[in-house]
Structures are given as C-alpha cells and as structure tokens.
Amino acid sequence: MIRRLVSTFILKYLRFFAKLAISYKRPKHIIGIAGSLGKSSVRNMVDVLLKDQYFTKTIFEGNSQTGVPLGILNLKIVDYSFFDWIRLLILIPFKIFCLRNVDVLIIEMGIDSPVSPKNMSYLLSIVKPDIAVILNIHPVHTERFEPYVNQKGGKLNNQVLNLIAAEKCKIVSENENCRVVIYNDANYYVKETVRKVAYGRKSLKVIRFGKTTRCDIRLQSYKVSFSGTRMTFNTKNGVSMSLNINGFILPDVYQEVFAAAILVAQNLGIKNEKIVRLIEQQFSLPKSRASILMGQNNVIIIDSSYNASKASVSTFIDLLKSLKKMSNHSFIFIFGDMKELGKRSIEDHKSVALQIDNVFDRVYLTGQLTKLYVLPYLSKVSEKKWFETSQKIGEYLKDNLPEESVILAKGSQNEIFIEEALKPLLRDSKDISFLCRQSPYWLAVKKRQSLKV
C-alpha cells in the first residue's frame, strides 16, 4: 500500500513538472512516435535529419510513464535506488526551463497496456504531439491486453491487435493538438484504425507510406548483402529516392523506418538531397538492434538481443535466409524466450521453430518456452542445444565456434539477457560497450539473477 502511494506521488510529481516545462516554452513542433517495432530507430533517424536545421531535443532513454517526463526535464535515472529517486525529486523543479531554446522535441511513446499509467492516454496527459508517427501494429505485450477483450466473441488475436491499435492510435484520436499524422498504410491494423480516428478532422494532415499509389512514399525495392543494404522509394510526384546503407545488414522492416523518418523531414522542409546524404553518412542503430559485431574466428555477429516478438524474430530469420543464399557460411541462431505473448506464446514459439529449422545450421536456446516449444520441433539443424542461461551458451560456443560463421542473437529482455551470450565471443572485448543493458543498473539486475557479469 505504501509503495503504491509513493509510486503514485512520483508519477504525479513527474507529470506536473514536465507539463509545466512544456507550458512555459512549448517547442514549435513535438513529434511523437508510436508503434510496435522500430520506434527507437525512427526516433534516432529523425534526430539526424532535423538537428542541422532545428534546435532539437530527443529523448534517447525512456519511452514510458517515467521515461517521457524525465526526458522532457533532461534528467536520467542511474540505478533506480531510493537515493537516486531522492536526487531526481530534488533536481526536477530546477529543470522547468530546459525547453526554452528547443525548436523540435522528439519523443518515442511506448505503451505496455490499455490501463493507466502504462497506456497512451497517460502519456498524452503529459505531452500532446502535433506530429504523430504510427509505424506498425504487431502482437507485442499481448498478454497485458488479453484480459480486456471479449474472449468468447470473434478471434482473440484480432481482438487483441485491434485493441492495441486503438490504444496506440490515441496519439491522434485523443490528441486535439495533432495536426499531422504519418502512418503505415501497409499495416492493416494501423490503416483501419487511423481511417476511423481521422474521419471528419479537416485540420488533420494525413501522410501515408506503404506500397500503393495513394501513399506519399512507396516502398519500391529492397536488397541486402554482407556489405550493406540498398532501398529505393518513390514519392507521390514520381521522384525516386535511393539509399545505400553501407556496413549495415538491415531486415526489410527498416523500409518502414526510413520511410517514416523521410516523411517527417519532408514535412518540416528538409530537401530530398539532404535527407539522402544525411542518412547515408550518419545512419546509426540503437544498441543491439541489428548491430554488426566481429567475433572470434572471423565470425559475423548480428546482434538483435534487445528484445523479441514473433514479428521481429520472423523478420530477422527472413534476413538470414536471404544472406544464406549468398554464402557457404555456417549459420547459427542464439535464441531466448519471447516473453509477454499471452495465449499466443505456445503457438508463436512453435511457428518460429519451423522457420528456424529451414534456415540455421546450429541453434542454441535458453528459457523454458524455447525448451518446450522450439527445441523439440527442430529436426533439420546439425546441432541443437538448450542451456539454463544465455551466459552458458556463450561459454559453450567460445570453445565450439565454427570459423567464419554468421550468428544471429535474439531474445526478450526479461530474465533472458541474450547479450550475455555474446560477450565471450567478441573479437575485441571493448565491443561489450556496444551491447545493450550494460549500465550499472542492468548489471546489478543480472547479478541478482546469478549471472556473472
């Protein structure tokens, strides 16, 4: 009871001062980015495209009920300890003027539930963007939405996805400040929900990306190799834009990331030539989201260990399938449980197992879900093993790593921590700094779970 009261007080305290900072000096534009996959990458790319022309403030850490207000106030949590929160509570009132020179505020708006404070309605009670980006809707965090649908009527999966879409699209429907919405016309749940919430709002500018001629940017072509990724887009007026992302092996879902970022930049007056130049010269990835690292024995590691859902795992398996056609390398998958899938969990793990079996030569698993619903369904791989922890996978592979192989690493963050499997495999130990969840807070969490970090 006391803990709940303290938590409520802190949330109200954060919200009050974040709103005060915005009311004192609201930036000319506030960009809110919503969706299931790729939000952080869009956020980073929009920052790259705008910061030369505008004074931008981008919240790089945190997208939640605490992360958003702290980011607005230019404060960071260090270790979530009692004394860390006391430090923040003391500093917060002195940060209400931190937006006075900001032209554009860029915020990733993540939700885990339809219930406050983990929903979009709560985030909108803090900040209401005038430019909304809605990337996609996929079955992520579904177990937290399942209790709020009628499980007897219609297909459960569709009901849950419709509820997720409705919640994320509140960035438009419950936001009278929204003047521009940029959305993924190729994603059924986004398209249908935006169509409903935008109906009759004459002051709302609707901008689309997708694959049809009605889209302002069409996803035209995509090609990936071990040297990089090439994408081509066509604008509504017939202009073609080609991007050569050298040194990055990106799955095709990144077409959505680039299309959304391009449309934000165009809407704020950035020329196409400058957009292409900035992307090709300054593109970077958040840690452990398709990062490329070099391992021992000339191994290529594709590190996407930050998190995992069926949609993201399937996308990366398809990427590896394309790469395998170009090489004779051994392909290895280090894979941990996909968490928070609710009643989809068993089905999704079995489905992913069938994909894995047709692409990878060796598979190393951790987590109870992969043990029960992936391991038994792998019949074609030359080696498959399950380990109690991700760290034990790394210890095994350190002495059993095939020369010039290609590794994909993927798993949910809660209790899995696939990044720990990669530490012993890195060619240069300094590259540990490129792995996710290496802050003192996360290292302490891992130690509490008996991992040696």
Q: What band does 152 get if pLDDT is binned at 50, 70 and 90?
A: low
CATH number of the domain where residue 209 is located: 3.40.1190.10
Element (H, E) at 230: strand 228-235
Q: Same domain for 46 and 146? A: yes
The yes-or-no verdict on residue 209 having pLDDT over 90 is yes
Q: Same domain for 261 and 362? A: no
Q: Same domain for 260 and 310? A: no
Q: What band does 200 get if pLDDT is binned at 50, 70 and 90?
A: confident
The yes-or-no verdict on residue 154 having pLDDT over 60 is no
Q: Same domain for 417 and 278? A: no
Q: What band does 343 get if pLDDT is binned at 50, 70 and 90?
A: confident
Q: Cβ contacts of residue 430 below 8 Å, gap of 6+?
A: none
Q: At what angle do helices 188-198 and 156-168 cross, to 10 degrees?
A: 50
Q: Same domain for 276 and 295? A: no
The yes-or-no verdict on residue 1 having pLDDT over 90 is no
Q: Same domain for 137 and 202? A: yes
Q: Same domain for 241 and 322? A: no
Cα separation, 210 vs 198, in Å, equals 18
The overall average pLDDT reported for the chain is 94
Share of the chain above pLDDT 70, in %: 98
> Does 276 fall in a domain?
yes
Structural domains in the chain (count): 2
Q: Which among 265, 282, 299 is the end of a domain?
A: 282
Q: Which domain holds residue 309?
A: 291-448
> Does 355 fall in a domain?
yes
> Does 453 fall in a domain?
no
Q: What band does 441 get if pLDDT is binned at 50, 70 and 90?
A: confident
Q: Same domain for 338 and 409? A: yes
Q: Which among 263, 282, 301 is the end of a domain?
A: 282
SS3 assignment, position 208: strand
Burial (Cβ within 10 Å: 0-12, 13-18, ≥19) of residue 159: middle
The yes-or-no verdict on residue 153 having pLDDT over 60 is no
Burial (Cβ within 10 Å: 0-12, 13-18, ≥19) of residue 46: buried
Q: Which among 255, 282, 309 is the end of a domain?
A: 282
Lowest mean pLDDT among 72-81, 92-101, 403-412: 72-81
> Does 419 fall in a domain?
yes
Q: Same domain for 103 and 251? A: yes
Mean predicted confidence (pLDDT) in 283-288: 90
pLDDT by residue (tens digit) across 222-236?
A: 999 999 999 999 998
Q: List helix spans (H) across 170-293.
A: 170-173, 188-198, 254-267, 272-282
Q: Same domain for 136 and 221? A: yes
Q: Same domain for 235 and 350? A: no
Element (H, E) at 203: none
Residue pair 337/412 in contact by the 8 Å Cβ criterion? yes
Q: Same domain for 78 and 187? A: yes
CATH number of the domain where residue 336 is located: 3.90.190.20
> Does 156 fall in a domain?
yes
